[in-house]
Amino acid sequence: MIIGIDDTDSNEGMCTTYLGALLLEELQEYGNIETLPILVRLNPTIPYKTRGNAAVALKLKTDCPEKVIAHVTSRIEELARMECEKTNPGAVFIQEKDYERLRPVLMSFLEDAVKEVIEIETAKDLISKLGIASKGYKNGRGLIGALAACGAMLNPEGWDFTFEHLAYRQKERWGTQRSVDKESFFEADRETYPKTWDTVDLTNRLVVCVPHSADPVLFGIRGESPEIVNKAASFIRAEPVERFAVFRTNQGTDMHLLPAQNIAEIRDMHSYRLEGQVSAAPETLEGGHVIFAIRDREGGEIDCAAFEPTKNFRSLIRKLVPGDLVLLSGSVTSGTLNIEKIEIKDLAPVYREENPECPVCGKHMKSAGQGQGFRCKKCETHSLSKVRFETERNLEPGVYEVPPCARRHLAKPLAREKRRDIKLHPAR
Ligand code: ATP
């Protein structure tokens, strides 16, 4: 049986992955857990999300599905933060006999949940049309994520995946400041990067895998395999861990990006890979956000932003000039593309002008008066116009990314990129 759950937490506490980790242990009373649990990140622009728009699925071999359903629903009722308006839990249960039948439909539902915006009614209609056991609470929005997580579990090789080791705090410490030895995270990174990523941000000297909110997560280490994330976790010195779980995830895969043919097709609340030429030079706004515009071949234009939290990435963006050809990855909200990665494909030439040199003495000539060109008084030489030089750009073509402290869960880090056709500039 596959169990999908979503939308159990609020800003004040809980986390759907924690419920997943608890159930992993508790459901062993009713059968055998067959494989690693799944943590999917869905459309990152969805406003209903608490933090990272996560949903979880577990897979269990069991002879007593009714008992499993009763146990899961009673744990959701106990633990979900129902008092929060934004918490609308959902759980779906897929029987083994239905795996083949549901695989293609739910895999495509997962793709939509990561890339598109789905109505609650669409999920409810699908559940009733396909005859899936489910339980939605309040408006039942969590059914969307729960179905999507089941899609991922039904087809675990059908998408690019990574892993995360999530360590959870003892309950009595929830809501208090986390006690961790920061240096141990830098050690873990030194020993396992680039097979793990986003543990620390070296440039900004930050530990980025420890949350600051009231949820039960102590830290989460992301990487290429279960072995490497466990190895990295073994270096961590911190307060006692109540439990941990390793999830298979779509984090760090760019699964959210749609290829955009042109700017006219771009819609808010979607994420794209989009090519264009810089059409308005970068400008730094109040608050430190850097905004510029790109134009496509059909003349469509869109604002693109490197917001203040992207820190040092903004100094790279400020070097762009009109005419540069770029391929951007990022999400669009309020008509602005929030940059996650930039591929600088071609640099426009930039010129500076100087007064001409005197061919006799080699010194720069002076203006001979408005519209009268330039002259060297001493040598009595003349020239009509200034001389143009192409200047060095101090910017190299290649792919650049926001630093780890600003990375979106779904964004594929350059540490994972295998491309050889272009220079990669991984942020560390
Ligand atoms: P949690 O730990 O509870 O999962 P979260 O930050 O992951 O917290 P949720 O509380 O799950 O966010 O809120 C996201 C809500 O948005 C869920 O109800 C989920 O089903 C729904 N959702 C996810 N993807 C989409 C989508 N593509 N379209 C519409 N709704 C979506």
Ligand 1 and 4: CB distance under 6 A: no
- Ligand 1 atom with minimal separation from the 52 CA: 6
CATH architecture assigned to 257-347+393-425 = Beta Barrel (2.40)
Ligand 1 and 144: CB distance under 6 A: yes
What pTM, to 2 d.p., does this model score? 0.94
Residue 141 CA to ligand 1 centre (angstroms): 7
Say yes or no: do domains 2-154 and 257-347+393-425 share a fold.
no
pLDDT digits (tens, 9 = 90+) for 276-294: 999 999 999 999 999 999 9
Ligand 1 and 62: CB distance under 6 A: no
Residue 16 CA to ligand 1 centre (angstroms): 10
Euclidean distance between CA atoms 97 and 242, whole angstroms: 35
Which amino acid does the sequence have at 255? Answer: M
Q: Where are the domains of the chain?
A: 2-154, 162-249, 257-347+393-425, 350-391
Pull the structure tokens for residue 426: 């991984």
DSSP secondary structure string, 354-396? Answer: EPPBPTTT-PBPEE-STTS-EEETTTTEEESS-EEEEPP-S--
CATH placement of domain 2-154: 3.30.70.2200
Euclidean distance between CA atoms 263 and 242, whole angstroms: 48
Half-sphere exposure in the Cβ direction for 412 (13 Å, CA) = 19
Please compute Rg for the chain using Cα positions. Answer: 27
- Give the three-class secondary structure for 103: helix
Residue 89 CA to ligand 1 centre (angstroms): 9
Q: DSSP class of residue 308? A: G
- Give the Cβ contact number of residue 120 at 10 Å: 17
Ligand 1 and 253: CB distance under 6 A: no
Strands (E), 213-369: 217-223, 241-249, 257-259, 270-284, 290-295, 301-306, 325-333, 336-346, 351-354, 366-367
276 burial level (CB within 10 Å; 0-12, 13-18, 19+):
buried
Residue 137 CA to ligand 1 centre (angstroms): 13
Q: DSSP class of residue 264? A: G
Ligand 1 and 15: CB distance under 6 A: yes
CATH 3.90.600.20 correct for 162-249: yes
- Give the three-class secondary structure for 223: strand
- Ligand 1 atom with minimal separation from the 145 CA: 20
For the chain, which residues score pLDDT lower than 50?
A: none
